[in-house]
Amino acid sequence: MRQAKLTVQGAEAYETENLYYEVPDIEQFRGKDVVISGGGNSAVDWANELEPIAKSVTVVHRRDAFGGHEQFVTKMKNSRVNVMTPFAISGLTGCNQGKCIEQVQLEHCESKSCQIKRVDAVVVNHGFEVELSFLEHEPLGLKVEESKLQLNDRMQTNVPGIFAVGDLANYNSKLPLIAGCFQDAALAVNSVKQYVEPTANEYGMVSSHHEKLTQ
């Protein structure tokens, strides 16, 4: 899993100077004009953290609605943070021999009209990308549909000895909830135990199953 990069031509050239994908120290943005791209919890949190110390904070998001917690989105909108929706960064202009971003081009996602904004720093939070190409590696022969491993009811793939849990795994009647993954994990562990030790109990044991407590 890796952070999703800004998909603007030449963006990678600025990653060593003033294009950021995380905020390790908010003090480095004190007194600066900052543009934040994103609409999730992290982007909203960064905007609220930087607003008191930055010269200006502009948040651009390609949708009108934000995915962050409502309480913190409201706080952001009621502050001096400049919220621009639906906008996206469509271009970067550099200075210092092309090492630093000096201006960003902001494009309206519907009208396609553009605005140019001077910046000292750009912070990007577009979520994460998951590298799944290994799943389709021919020698493995794993059954994959829509980037998910297809499992049986014992959390086993179509390849004996390979089990899976979490967002990557799919099976009939699966609910996409975190709570369900805890059960999936326990079931997978029991299945692995049976695979390596066929005489093991099919299901997990708890203290009340101890032979001394059956008397």
For each of the domains in the chain, give its residue range(s) and CATH number, in order of start.
Answer: 2-128 (3.50.50.60), 130-198 (3.50.50.60)
Q: Computed from CA positions of residues 46, 47, 53, 58, in that sequence, does the dihedral angle turn out positive or negative?
A: positive
Q: List all residues 6 or more positions away from 155 whose beta carbon is below 8 Å from its beta carbon.
A: 163, 164, 165, 169, 171, 184, 187, 188, 191
Rg (CA), the chain: 24
Q: How confident is the model at residue 191, as a pLDDT? A: 92
Please give the single-letter amino acid code of residue 99. K
Q: Which pLDDT does position 158 carry in this prediction? A: 92
Burial 78-93 (b: 16+ CB within 10 A, else e): eeebebbbbbbbbebe
Please state, as a whole number, how many other Cβ atoms lie within 10 Å of the Cβ of residue 148: 17
Does the CA dihedral 174-175-179-181 come out positive or negative? positive
Length of the chain: 215
Per-residue pLDDT of the chain (215 residues; tens, 9 = 90+): 678 899 998 999 999 899 999 988 999 999 999 999 999 999 999 999 999 999 999 999 999 999 889 999 999 999 999 999 999 999 999 987 778 999 999 999 999 999 999 999 999 999 887 776 776 666 778 888 877 889 998 999 999 999 999 888 899 888 878 888 888 998 899 999 999 998 887 766 666 666 666 65
The pTM assigned to this predicted structure is 0.69
In this prediction, residue 180 carries a pLDDT of: 84
